[in-house]
């Protein structure tokens, strides 16, 4: 169920982040059982970490709070539609639902590449602006074979 206050909190975090100079204009909160359990803002330029987007930071913080890598039962409220990195992180974290205010086109207006990266990911590999090259495919399967045969593995 949408809680307007949670999204306003995410937007306010984004604004505070611009004022503090810690990073880009993005904020996010993770909600479980009707309460905010973790927050995050974009800290790319202050943490010197290009993966430190608001949603990624919020997810990392929520996992610390819950002591779990699985956020099933949680929702994320974010000031802007997640970029493909953060959307994928939402999938890996098994978050139930995403609420967002601005979207990727607003982000583009702000000078961010979210929309561009969405387009790139949907392209065939050989059409993307960052080239990919596959080799040693057979050798690359060996870790998966080891994984499949491992008895005491922790799956995720």
Residues classed as catalytic? 55
Shortest separation between residue 33's beta carbon and a second copy, angstroms: 19
Cβ-contact 54, 63 below 8 angstroms: no
Q: x/- binding map, residues 8-47, to a second copy, per CB under 8 A? A: x--x--xx-xxx-x--xxxx----------------xx-x
Q: Quick check: 3 binds a second copy (CB under 8 A)?
A: no
> 28 — phi, psi (to 5°)?
-150, 150
Report d(CA 12, CA 25) in Å as an integer: 10
Q: Quick check: 132 binds a second copy (CB under 8 A)?
A: yes
Closest C-alpha to 60, from 84, 30, 31: 30
How crowded is residue 17: how many other Cβ atoms within 10 Å of its Cβ?
22
Q: State which residue, 35 or 121, has the beta carbon closest to a second copy.
A: 121
Return the residues of window 61-90 that contact a second copy according to CB under 8 A.
63-64, 67-71, 79-81, 83-90
CA dihedral (67, 69, 73, 79) positive or negative: positive
Q: x/- binding map, residues 136-155, to a second copy, per CB under 8 A? A: xx-xxxxxx-xxx-x-xxxx
């Amino acid at each position: 169920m949408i809680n307007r206050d949670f999204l306003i909190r995410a937007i306010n975090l984004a604004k505070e982040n611009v004022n503090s100079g810690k990073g880009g204009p993005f904020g996010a909160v993770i909600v479980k059982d009707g309460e905010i359990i973790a927050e995050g803002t974009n800290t790319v330029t202050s943490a010197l970490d290009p993966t430190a987007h608001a949603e990624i930071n919020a997810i990392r913080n929520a996992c610390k709070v819950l002591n779990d890598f699985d956020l099933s039962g949680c929702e994320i409220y974010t000031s802007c539609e997640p970029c493909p990195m953060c959307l994928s992180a939402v999938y890996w974290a098994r978050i139930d639902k995403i609420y967002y205010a601005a979207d990727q086109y607003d982000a583009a207006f702000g000078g961010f590449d979210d929309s561009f990266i969405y387009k790139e990911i949907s392209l065939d590999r050989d059409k993307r602006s960052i080239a990919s090259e596959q080799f040693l495919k057979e050798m690359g399967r060996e870790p998966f074979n080891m994984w499949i045969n491992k008895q005491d593995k922790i799956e995720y």
